[in-house]
A = this chain, B = another copy of it.
Amino acid sequence: MYALNGKWKISIISSICCFGKRRFSDILNDVEGISNRMLSKELKELEINQLVKRTILDTQPITVQYELTEHGNTLQTIISNLAEWGVVHRNKITGKKVESIETSCNEKIDV
């Protein structure tokens, strides 16, 4: 089941989960290299899949806040596992030893 396709979904989820709530432009900065066009599209898909919740704040100018739904949170464990495996894998492939594994929310996830 890949409601997770697209190049950025995991990074986006990580960004949001890391802060709890996050604005559009914040995510735009967090996720290196993504364009607003893509971010908009991916967020929309995540919203349709009920993984993130979108809230329009009545500020001036308007801001929009994104947060993980309860359901989205159930993904965190899996993403952590993936990230952890990814680290081990990278080291395996590049032939380095695994010194330490950190999978805090702040860690950048390579895609």
Contacts and interface: CB of A to CB of B under 8 A. Distances in A.
Given A77-B81, A81-B77, A85-B74, A93 B50 contact: yes
Interface string A77-111: 11001110111111011000000000000000111
Given A49-B93, A92-B50, A1 B110 contact: yes
A109 B85 CA distance: 20
A19 interface: no
A109 B1 CA distance: 7
Contacts of A92: 50, 71
22 contacts: A1-B83, A1-B85, A1-B86, A1-B109, A1-B110, A1-B111, A2-B111, A3-B89, A49-B89, A49-B93, A50-B92, A50-B93, A71-B89, A71-B92, A74-B85, A75-B85, A77-B81, A78-B78, A78-B81, A78-B82, A78-B85, A81-B81
Interface of A: 1-3, 49-50, 71, 74-75, 77-78, 81-83, 85-90, 92-93, 109-111
